[in-house]
Amino acid sequence: MKKVLWIILGCTIASIGVLILRHSHVVTGGTAGLSLSLSYALPLSFAVIFFLINIPFYLFSFFQMGWKFTATTIGSVSLLSLLTSLDHLLPSFTLPSLMGAVTGGLIAGLGLSILFMNGASLGGANILALFAQRKFGWDPGKVNFSFDFLVVLSSMYSIGISKGIFSVISIAITGFVISYFKQKIALHNQPTSASVTQPLDNALSK
C-alpha cells in the first residue's frame, strides 16, 4: 500500500508538470512530449494520444522488465492520462514559456524519479532508460534526455524553434533531476537474476 501511495503521488506530481508545460506551450520528451506535440496538431486530447502511443512499449516492458513492472507502468500511464484529462475543468490560462519550461521540467522530473524509485514509469523512453540502467548501468537521466531530445527536435514543426529551445531547457532539467536520484533509482531497478527478462519481484519488495 505504501508503494501504491508513492506511485499515485508520483503520477500526480508528474501530471502537474505536464499541465504546466502544456499551458506554457512547451513540450517535454518521451511519449508524454510526443503526445503533447500531437495534441497541438490533432483533434484528440493529450490523454487519449498518450494512452494509445504507449501500447507498443508495454509489450517490450513485459518481456524485458517483467509483468509487475509492466502492470505498475500501465496503471501509472492510465492515472496520468486521467489526471491530465481534468485540464478542461481548470480556467483557461497561459504561462511564460521560460518559467513553464523550468518549473514544469523540475516538477515532471521529480514525479518521474518517484515513479522510478517505486518500480513504475510513464512508458516509452522511461522503460528504455530503466532497461538500459539495469542491463548496462547507464545513467537513466542521460538516456532519458537523449530520447527526449529527439522528440523535441521532431516537434519543432508544430511548436516553432523558440518554443523548441524552451523545450530543450525543460528536458535538460528533467534529466538532471532524474540523474540526481540515479543511485536511489538503481537500488530499486536491479535484476533478480542474470536474465533481464525476469520480473522485478525482489526489487519491488524492498
For the chain, report the end-to-end CA distance as a whole number of angstroms.
13
Instruction: Enumerate residue ranges in the chain where pLDDT < 50.
Output: 192-206
Contacts of 77 (CB under 8 A, 6+ apart): 50, 51, 54, 122, 123
d(CA 163, CA 167): 6
Question: What local confidence, expressed as pLDDT, does residue 9 receive?
Answer: 94
Question: What local confidence, expressed as pLDDT, does residue 187 receive?
Answer: 75
Instruction: Find out whether 169 and 102 touch, Cβ atoms under 8 Å.
Output: yes
Question: What local confidence, expressed as pLDDT, does residue 5 receive?
Answer: 93
Question: What local confidence, expressed as pLDDT, does residue 88 receive?
Answer: 80
Question: What local confidence, expressed as pLDDT, does residue 190 receive?
Answer: 65
Question: What local confidence, expressed as pLDDT, does residue 158 receive?
Answer: 66
Give burial (CB, 10 Å; 0-12/13-18/19+) of 8.
middle
Question: What local confidence, expressed as pLDDT, does residue 151 receive?
Answer: 79
d(CA 76, CA 170): 21
Look up residue 171 and give its amino acid. I
Question: What local confidence, expressed as pLDDT, does residue 64 receive?
Answer: 86
Q: How many CB atoms are closer than 10 A to CB 19?
A: 21
Question: What local confidence, expressed as pLDDT, does residue 193 receive?
Answer: 42
